[in-house]
Amino acid sequence: MGLLSITPRLDPQMATALKLAAELAAETKAAHGLGDVATTDLLNQRILYNADRKFWNRNAPEMASSTDITLDTANGSIAMRLDRPKSAKTISPVLIYLHGGGWIVGNLDTHARIMRVLAELSGWCVLGVDYHLAPEAKFPVPQQDCLAAAQWVIDHGAKHGLDANAIALAGDSAGGNMSMATLLALRSQGQHHRVKAALLYYGSYGLRDSASRRLWGGTEDGLSPEDLAFFRTCLLNTPDEMKDPRFDILANPLNDLPPLYILEVTMDPLADDSTALLHAVQEAGGTAEYRRVDGVLHGFLHMSGHVDAAMTALREGAAFLRTHSQ
């Protein structure tokens, strides 16, 4: 665990949610005959992750339609899911959502509630992207998949009732990193004028050490130094790729970007990544709305049905989208 204890600092609702998560993990292990599961045991980590997220995804808002789409990319086909809320316009702005999970876990189902809540509260369609996971797919395959999804919206979105000139990007954790990587890739192609906003929830943006990485992180959030190192080992081909600007977002010039919503969790080893991104964007003349959330842990966004702070974060993100829809 980190140098500081989370126990006296936890919001009561978050503390209750952690107890529920521990009980669920024990039930899942018993059902599958598992003992302690090492971070490096990817097969069983994915079983635990999927079961946990299935629980938190209950009672997701009902959509007018949810359409599964297969996208052929240079790396093979990937799945996407287009959620259209009941309040969506005939030609709707679209939020491209890139899920978190350290590049090694997660899919369209694990983040279904997050995407549907954002869709319902904003009135925007939400396109989830099931990019290839590491270590089966190494860097920069996930980043290329996400850019291909954005290009699909630009090229084919109109056929699905999407406004290719009113796009936003969003993601949590690793998805925040790839949202920025996708935005910067679109900027290099001269397409960034289509992106009206980005929602960045507790992302990783390139810091390799920081105060927050020393103070926080452990078994409760799965972000110990060993966990973070394992995620990088799974994704990257060589340690030098940590400096690649498609991974190290802070290595890029951060000018000429749309407004950003940046959310930082105080008790999170990645907290300083968000602070650094905020300052870098502001120094480059950009606009960012910044939120710092106390009493919760990395990944709390999944718990919006149980933790009020999570619903508040989604509500604020949706309001940010509505503000920047034009």
> Which residues of 5-73 form beta strands (DSSP E)?
65-73
**Does the annotation count 298 as an active-site position?**
yes
**Cβ(306)–Cβ(16) below 8 Å:** yes
Cβ-contact 88, 81 below 8 angstroms: no
Q: Give every strand in the sheet of 195-201, ordered side by side.
A: 65-73, 76-84, 125-130, 92-98, 162-172, 195-201, 260-265, 288-293
Q: Which of 66, 92, 122, 173 is catalytic?
A: 173
Question: Cα–Cα distance between 266 and 278 in angstroms, integer?
Answer: 15
Q: Give the active site residue among 163, 221, 248, 268.
A: 268
- Is 68 one of the catalytic residues? no
Q: Is 59 exposed, middle or buried (0-12, 13-18, 19+ CB in 10 A)?
A: exposed
In 105-207, which ranges are E strands? 125-130, 162-172, 195-201
Q: Which of 111, 298, 302, 324 is catalytic?
A: 298
- Mapped onto helix, strand or coil, the DSSP state of residue 174 is helix
Label the pairing between strands 260-265 and 288-293.
Answer: parallel
Compute the CA torsion angle 205, 194, 155, 98 (nearest 10 deg): 30
Sequence-distant (≥ 6) Cβ neighbours of residue 137 within 8 angstroms: 75, 131
Q: Is 173 a catalytic residue?
A: yes
Active site amino acids: 173, 268, 298
